Amino acid sequence: MTLFIEQCLNGLQFGLLLFLLAAGLTLVFGIMDLVNLAHGSLYMIGAYFAATFSAWIGSFVLGVLLALVATLMVGMAVEVIAMRRLYGRDHLDHVLGTFGLILFFDESVRLIWGPEGLTLPLPAWLNTGVQILPGVTYSAYRLAIIVVTLVVAAFLYVLVMRTRVGMLIRAGASNREMVGALGVNIKLLYTLVFGIGAALAGLAGLMQAPILTVQIGMGENILILAFVITVIGGIGSIRGAFVAAIFVGFIDTLGRAFFPDLLRLMLSKEAASTLAPALSSMLIYLLMAIVLIVKPEGLFSAGGK
């Protein structure tokens, strides 16, 4: 039972983390109509920055904050230098162009930090267990991730739905020219949106960094999950991304934890241990296939786009 609660919390934590990544992806797609494969690279860069800065400064929190700002800047620079020229082009062009960016980022990281991975050690006050229920302790750091992502999600909701900037962003999504004609600096607005998306990806990366190692290509595996989430949730819908991310986080984590045991009940031990790793990694794709069969546009498709 303890294990089950722990795995559920892990699923929630992973889902929320995926939400950060998927939110940036879906925001950029919904507003700029841009398919950004390099989103995973920003996730990786966030993690590398955090590991480097906190080692330099000697403070985890300061290093992480600095890394967040730095990722935001990198994102905005990428938008100004490259992405801006891709708006309004074919999606295939986006795929190719941003694929080129991935190669560039991966290789730059290899050049700067070397091929070995980095680690981001946790400070002592986060590296402990917290008693959440009588008899159930849970990692304080993972709990912190859950809290931070929930706060960020709420902040994002307020920003997009309740502020003037958010109103302009939504207006820009429905009619770019009109917003521009009304005297809004739409270029700056887009740069800002892309920067926010980058910062979200960076935040996800740097929060994941102490749990996994920081390495080249770390963003690519998780990017695919973020794609699955945006497809399930409906491209362009932040609400959909939230629901789908939690779903995928749960299914992936619980699937990996309990599916092999479940399989062992039905099949022979040998067959189960051969099939389990393959099948449990298929679960979320099966979920995606089912959603597509029922609702080809995703659960919460942003209508009219």
Residue 139: CA count within 13 A, CB half-sphere: 16
Residue 252 in contact with other proteins, rule: CB under 8 A: no
- What's the count of helices (H) and strands (E) in the chain, helices before strands? 11, 2
Provide the β-strand partners of residue 137: 131
- Of the two residues 206 and 244, which places its CB atom closer to other proteins in the complex? 244
Q: For residue 193, which of 33, 60, 62, 65 has the smallest C-alpha distance?
A: 33
- Of the two residues 66 and 276, which places its CB atom closer to other proteins in the complex? 276
Task: With contacts defined by CB under 8 A, name the span among 98-106, 143-151, 174-182, 253-261 that binds other proteins.
Answer: 98-106
Q: 209-248: which residues touch other proteins (CB under 8 A)?
A: 220, 224, 227-228, 230-231, 235
- Of the two residues 26 and 54, which places its CB atom closer to other proteins in the complex? 26
Residue 303 in contact with other proteins, rule: CB under 8 A: no
Dihedral angle sign, alpha carbons of residues 14, 16, 20, 22: positive
**Residue 80 Cα to chain centre, angstroms:** 22
Give helix 218-233 / helix 2-32 axis angle, nearest 10°: 80
Binding-site size for other proteins (CB under 8 A) equals 45
Binding-site member from 68, 106, 238, 251 for other proteins (CB under 8 A): 106
Binding-site member from 56, 61, 107, 130 for other proteins (CB under 8 A): 107
Residue 271 in contact with other proteins, rule: CB under 8 A: no
- Neighbouring residues of 10: CB distance < 8 A, sequence distance ≥ 6: 142, 253, 257
Q: Which residues bind other proteins (CB under 8 A)?
A: 29, 35, 82, 85-86, 89, 91-93, 95-97, 99-108, 110-111, 220, 224, 227-228, 230-231, 235, 274, 277-279, 281-282, 285, 288-289, 292-293, 296-298
